[in-house]
Structure 1
Amino acid sequence: MQPDEVTPLLQRINAGDPTAAEELLPLVYGELRRLAASRMARESPGQTLQATALVHEAWLRLGGDAQPAWANRAHFFAAAAEAMRRILIDNARRKQAVRHGGKLQKVSANETAFDLPADLADDNELLLINEALEAFAQHDARKAELVKQRYFVGLTIEEAAQVLGISERTAKRDWVYARTWLFNEVKRLRG
């Protein structure tokens, strides 16, 4: 996919071309799939959500074939990153819901000991990071968006800088600041 292919297609969608939305998914699918796979590789081994499912769910949340008005490629991928982040957060919250076992310990019928699910700690961490990220977005929205692009979508500094329309140097500086701020906030939230 060439970056210059997406923006004209998005402009056709905004102009009301009925065939343009159908052309968008095949064009961006590979990139979305790569980003989702990168993000899912950092998830816990017991993760039930697959990268393909993450892309499809994100596509549906973005509007499916009835795409909203996108300003450009960066706007589209920023929205896709946010959709993927929300899906992962919703999935972590769903796993922790009491009706799904929540923070209760699993009991095996063959064992008398209790087993704590291995992925529970990762879901807790994801929810803590999300809470810290929401607070950070109130503090500095641009830097929070950089974190979303890096942490939840798996973009490199260079790719995130391109999507956000900032220089690599600014992105690197923002990344150092964001990591420090979030580290301190997560530490505070843990108590």
Structure 2
Amino acid sequence: MTDDNIQVTQLLNRWQGGDQRALEKLIPQVYSELHRLAKIQLKRNKKNNIQCTELISEAYLRLVDINSVDWQNRTHFFSMAARTMRRVLVEQYRKNNANKRGNNQTLLTYKDELQQADQDIPLDNLDSALQKLEQLDARQADIVTMKFFGGLSNEEIAEVLSVSSKTVQRDWSVAKLWLFRALQ
């Protein structure tokens, strides 16, 4: 674990214990990574009307409202941030398209390591498929969310889920296949 990881983990634990100054110190340390996560999300979104800072702010506001999370470490925090950003984007998609079904769909572009072509995925369809996958295999759904929405590596995901990176890779392969079929 790097010094940065240890320091972020300590700040998360102090914040969880009620130390608001720890939160003030935490934000500058995690902001650049939150910005990177938000850019990943928005780069995939071909027709978005939310700015990077807006996505970060909304995710931040939701994360600081969470009182019952036992923050394990820095990676756990960023996996929660990725999940939160997913919810923000899906909610915005649904709000913007409530009156215009089928028009101006938000499409996420995903380039699979195994495919050469980019694949456009409607955000609403992806979220519905992920909800179904959560019912079938919650760990696989978590892996997809952390990898797709959070840009986390297999090693980082393995750390959050307390499994091996080989397990993450195996579950990721199965989940990709399941999602591919579900989105057809």
TM-score band by shorter chain is 0.7 to 0.9
Residue correspondences, number: 169
User: What is the CA distance between 1:67 and its match in structure 2?
Assistant: 5.8
Q: Which moved more, 1:82-91 or 1:2-11?
A: 2-11
Residue 124 of structure 2: aligned partner: 127
Residue 70 of structure 1: aligned partner: 70
Q: Which runs of 5+ in 2 are unaligned?
A: 109-120
* Alignment RMSD (CA, Å): 2.2
Distance 1:121 1:85 in 2: 13
Distance 1:60 1:175 in 2: 30
Please state whether the residue corresponding to 1:19 is helix, strand or coil: helix
Residue 155 of structure 1: aligned partner: 152
User: What is the CA distance between 1:26 and its match in structure 2?
Assistant: 1.0
Q: 1:166 aligns with which of 163, 167, 173?
A: 163
User: What is the CA distance between 1:153 and its match in structure 2?
Assistant: 1.9
- 1:35 and 1:121, CA in 2 relative to 1: closer, same or farther beyond 3 A? closer
What percentage of aligned pairs have identical amino acids? 38
Distance 1:133 1:165 in 2: 21
Distance 2:84 2:106 in 1: 23
Please state whether the residue corresponding to 1:54 is helix, strand or coil: helix
Residue 117 of structure 2: aligned partner: none
User: What is the CA distance between 1:181 and its match in structure 2?
Assistant: 1.1
Distance 2:178 2:27 in 1: 36
CA contact (8 A) 1:161 1:167 kept: yes
* Letter aligned with residue 156 of structure 2: E
Distance 2:18 2:106 in 1: 46
Distance 2:77 2:122 in 1: 28
CA contact (8 A) 1:6 1:72 kept: no
**Following superposition of structure 1 onto structure 2, how do residues 1-191 of structure 1 map, counting pairs within 5 Å?**
2-44=4-46, 46-63=47-64, 69-73=69-73, 74-98=75-99, 102-103=100-101, 119-120=104-105, 122=107, 125-187=122-184
Distance 1:55 1:70 in 2: 21
Residue 113 of structure 1: aligned partner: none
User: What is the CA distance between 1:166 and its match in structure 2?
Assistant: 2.6
- 1:121 and 1:33, CA in 2 relative to 1: closer, same or farther beyond 3 A? closer
User: Deviations along 1:129-185, whole A, 9 cap, x unmatched?
Assistant: 110100100111111011001112222333333333332211111110001111222
- 1:5 and 1:20, CA in 2 relative to 1: closer, same or farther beyond 3 A? same
Distance 1:94 1:14 in 2: 32
From the CA coordinates, give the structure whose radius of gyration is larger.
1
Q: Which runs of 5+ in 1 are unaligned?
A: 105-116
> TM-score scaled to structure 1, two decimals?
0.79
Distance 2:57 2:63 in 1: 10
CA contact (8 A) 2:78 2:150 kept: no
* Letter aligned with residue 64 of structure 2: G
> TM-score scaled to structure 2, two decimals?
0.81
Distance 1:48 1:121 in 2: 10
After TM superposition, the runs of 4+ consecutive aligned structure 1 residues lying more than 6 A away are: none
